[in-house]
Amino acid sequence: MRIAMIGGGYVGLVSAACFAEFGVEVSVVEADPGRLAALHAGRMPIYEPGLDALVAGNVAAGRLSFTDDLAAALAGAEAVFIAVGTPSRRGDGHADLTYVYAAAEQVARALTRPAVIVTKSTVPVGTGRRIAAILRDVRPDLPCAVASNPEFLREGSAIADFMRPDRVVIGVEEEGAREVLRQLYRPLYLIETPIVFTNLESAELTKYAANAFLAMKVAFINEMADLAEKAGADVHDVARGIGLDGRIGRKFLHPGPGFGGSCFPKDTLALARIAQDARAPSRLTEAVVAVNDARKAGLGRRVLDAAGGSVRGMRVAVLGLAFKPETDDMRDSPAIPLIEALADDGADIIAYDPAAMAAAKPLLPAAVRYAETAEAAIEGAAVLVAVTEWNEFRALAPAWLAARMQGRLIVDLRNIFDPAAIRAAGFVYHGVGRGSVSQLAANPEFEQDFEQDREFSDG
């Protein structure tokens, strides 16, 4: 089978490489010259563990190629996936479908034979019908089916999510198109992956509903963390206590600085707008957006309060910039409003992230300095703020920190450190939702259990 993937960004590149690994011949159409040149040179334009090897192997096997020649890519393709960006539209929060509709029109003009046109991008309900109308208007001579196949890839584990998904959702209504997609996903049938076939609208809404629900769990546990701090409870015990209920589940119940990334912020906002336009407002989704925005906006004040009201003139080490580990994605990262607030207060900020510093520099105040290692960032710091839970930060021993920091304040926005051990080393420790450390001390195996169950906050 041969397919084309329109867009070599995160979703398009990962999906193309994984389909190629299934044995499908995939041609990726990338219009950006810089990105195309990087792909031809074997350089990944995004950070995703294992992607470089997967791409290289399938390019070498002749199953994966990259081009800016749309007509050549479409030649012989049985399915054409649209995987272009759908950012939030300025001013109203709706998904901007400019690139999706432009791609559909360009594909329609370039096709020489019928094909299944599949939206892989996250698109609002009704987009598939609009694409079908575009195809009919542009090429009334060429009967093409339209399908929706939303992605459910978490940054940092996207390849595993594609290869061993919880489910595959396909919105399609023509039997021929259904068979094409069934054959494309045949390797997943063999491992008994649930394949949910539905209509276009249901598939489109499923993507938004899934992300909104997961975002709601994140916002909820963050609110419970605030309550735990006031009430003397420990939010980790609360999360485990509710997460072991099969009706709730343990995933996405880790407190922190709020969600960011490419999916949750824009998709919750878009769903709220979709619901408003349909005159079926989603008050829960609207509340999730508001709660998360407020949480990120308050991060700077949390650090300032911990420091006695100000960090002016203090050296503040910020560990982690990406919105989550195992990615360089800075979109809506909580680190941005946090660092802006600290810079406004006059802090001397030195930051470190294993992957995201290049992406972060254009987004952060010019005064921010960047360290080559976590150790260099920490050296001489008065305050340490942990923002992203990279594994290498967990290995920082309290005694080692005490020997290198000038100050004794740690603000742990991801709860990566053991409060008892940090305090025993002489630090003033501020975690999230840890109103009491007595239960952690009495139940040391809990932290290990929780780390095995946690999920990073990304759709």
pLDDT score at 92: 80
Q: Which residues contact 168 (CB under 8 A, 6 or more apart)?
A: 149, 185, 188, 193, 194, 195, 196
Same domain for 221 and 188 = no
Distance CA 440, CA 374 (A): 27
**Domain boundary pick from 198, 228, 247:** 198
Check pLDDT > 70 for residue 437: no
Same domain for 228 and 183 = no
Nearest in space to 124 (alpha carbons), one of 203, 197, 177: 203
Residue ranges making up the domain that contains 169: 2-198
Strands 383-386 and 315-319: parallel
Instruction: State the average pLDDT over residues 28-39.
Output: 96
Instruction: State the average pLDDT over residues 78-106.
Output: 92
Nearest in space to 80 (alpha carbons), one of 121, 39, 119: 119
Q: Which two tokens stand for residue 176?
A: 């021929």
Q: Which two tokens stand for residue 193?
A: 């992956």
Check pLDDT > 70 for residue 93: yes
Strand partners, 430: 411
Check pLDDT > 60 for residue 452: no
pLDDT score at 456: 47
**Domain boundary pick from 198, 223, 255:** 198
Interval 199-251: pLDDT, tens: 999 999 999 999 999 999 999 999 999 999 999 999 999 999 999 999 999 99
Q: Name the pLDDT band for 435 (thresholds 50, 70, 90).
A: confident
pLDDT score at 438: 44
Sheet containing 369-370: order of strands: 369-370, 348-352, 315-319, 383-386, 409-412, 428-430
The helices-and-strands tally (H runs, E runs) of the chain is: 22, 14
**Domain boundary pick from 165, 198, 231:** 198
Mean pLDDT over each residue of the chain, to the nearest integer: 94
Strand partners, 4: 27, 80
116, 185 in Cβ contact below 8 A? no
Nearest in space to 411 (alpha carbons), one of 396, 424, 429, 394: 429
49, 156 in Cβ contact below 8 A? yes
Phi, psi of 411, rounded to the nearest 5 degrees: -110, 110
Instruction: State the average pLDDT over residues 316-344.
Output: 97
Same domain for 347 and 283 = yes
13, 55 in Cβ contact below 8 A? yes
Residue 458 in any domain: the answer is: no
**Looking at residue 439, which CATH number applies to its domain?**
3.40.50.720
Same domain for 163 and 232 = no
Distance CA 314, CA 334 (A): 21
Q: Name the pLDDT band for 459 (thresholds 50, 70, 90).
A: very low
Instruction: State the average pLDDT over residues 386-412.
Output: 97
Same domain for 305 and 392 = yes
349, 318 in Cβ contact below 8 A? yes
**Number of domains comprising the chain:** 2
Give yes or no: 263 in active site: yes
E strand residue ranges, 115-241: 116-119, 145-148, 168-171, 195-198
Same domain for 308 and 231 = yes
pLDDT score at 91: 72
Residue 398 in any domain: the answer is: yes
Same domain for 191 and 285 = no
Interval 148-182: pLDDT, tens: 999 999 999 999 999 999 999 999 999 999 999 99
Same domain for 408 and 324 = yes
E strand residue ranges, 41-87: 64-67, 79-82
Same domain for 182 and 246 = no
Residue 70 in any domain: the answer is: yes
Calculate the alpha carbon distances from 453 to 77, 236, 446 in Å. Answer: 41, 12, 11
| Host H or E run for residue 131 | helix 127-138
Q: Which two tokens stand for residue 111?
A: 């096709």
Residue 203 in any domain: the answer is: no
Q: Which residues contact 453 (CB under 8 A, 6 or more apart)?
A: 243, 250, 251
208, 277 in Cβ contact below 8 A? no
Transcribe 346-371 into DSSP letters: T-EEEEE-TTTHHHHGGGS-TT-EE-
**How long is the chain?**
459
Q: Specify the residue for token string 């408003």.
A: 276
Same domain for 65 and 23 = yes
Catalytic residue among 263, 359, 396, 425: 263
Check the CA dihedral 150-153-159-163 and report its sign.
negative
Distance CA 321, CA 364 (A): 10
Distance CA 411, CA 242 (A): 26
Interval 371-394: pLDDT, tens: 999 999 999 999 999 999 999 999
pLDDT > 70: what percent of the chain?
95
Residue 45 in any domain: the answer is: yes
Residue 207 in any domain: the answer is: no
Q: Which two tokens stand for residue 305?
A: 């309060």
Residue 208 in any domain: the answer is: no
pLDDT score at 89: 84
